[in-house]
Structure 1
Amino acid sequence: MSLWSRISEVLSALAKGAPLSEVFARWSKPPEQTVAFTIAVIALGAKMAKADGHVTRSEVQAFRQVFHIPPEALEQAARVFDLARQDVSGYEHYAGRIGAMFGSGSKILEDLLEGLFHIATADDDYHPKENVFLEKVADLFGLEGMQFQSIRARCVSGYAADPYTILGASQEEAFPIIKAKWQALVRDSHPDLMIARGVPAEAVKLAEKRLIRVNEAFEKIKNAKS
């Protein structure tokens, strides 16, 4: 049975009145964990779009850019999305379960957070409520405060554009350490590695744009320390 066939079964349960959170919990153990992960990502993306109080067309389009859904499964995914976006409550449950699936420090979790940032900024308005939402999600993903600030600085134009923050570094660190952090970010943003982590092609293109900010930040620091 395919992933999306299993999700169709989940949707049937939802249609009978079962709460989304209960259905998610029922499908969150192997071998159905992939189904639970997919549902959680769709739900989390929908609730991200709702975080500032309303869902815009640009946010829905942004979701489709960073979380690839096969054309034949769009109807099922849309039903999960519509159910989840009715309100923002409950997002902590999904974020916590996703974090537990991968464990803190996973690059996949960082990719997911960047995807949520893309949704948040799709309407060109990074709302304070969206910041609270994403900061909490990052915490539930097990990402440290500096990691969150670094990802936010790379994803939100004009937000804390300090070059050290972008690289997840501090001014007190020696240049070789800062350089190593820059190299790690460049390596993690390599298209082949991102695709291997399951990042869709559209999201890879977005990462390439963010990499420009990473390289610019490193050049500023290198010039300042030379």
Structure 2
Amino acid sequence: MVHRRRSLGQENRCQSCRHRSLCLPLALELEEVEQFDTIIRRRLTLRRGEWLYRQGSPFTSVYAVRSGSLKQVANEGGSDELLTHYYLPSELVGLDGIDEVIYPSSVIALEATTVCEIPFDRLEFLSERLPVLRAHLYRIMSKEMRKDLRVIRMLAHKTADQRLATFFIGLSERFRQLGYSPYRFRLSMTRAEIGNYLGMAVETVSRVMGRFQQQDLVAVHGREIHILDMHTLVELGGESGRR
């Protein structure tokens, strides 16, 4: 696993990051942000397909996505890999390794991606000194638990059409929070990866996407998605209570 280390110049500091308000330094005062910045070991750049860490390796750090996107995959007993999470800028990766002191899954770049590595022992120490940081870390963990629960419910109870609608709605919300268009975005995952995440065959993903286009719910051009009818898509996914 080879990573390229970027210079820690002013442009790479937390104060200049456009996602600062969504990441761990949220609500910290300037001096506290500077303290947080000092615990970041380095910024890593990954190419598409490059591993951030592998399943079973020792847990040492969590990572904040600065740009690009990542997927998390788990392999149980030699079976096929299961895609369990995907991460966008400002989101924290690796929290599931805290309990067992190993990473229970592997994380791989879906595209050219930059992450900030945050050694967990330093984060834990600083969180004890900065209650605001500790509280925000707890909120991030709680959000991850709710996300896991939504995925479990989706896989257990929703049809293929509902799953893909829910997937698009979730992406739309996350891009909106990042300050991007919630109606036009690019998929970094392939259709096979989307199917893996949603528990669907790739042929089913393509068929449902085609049906959505015929119904004028979305327009699809390669990996570019344009949501045309958000209201109907939300109703189809059974997500009206979330918006």
Decide: shared fold, TM above 0.5: no
More strand by share: 2
TM-score under structure 1 normalisation? Answer: 0.30
Higher percent of residues as helix: 1
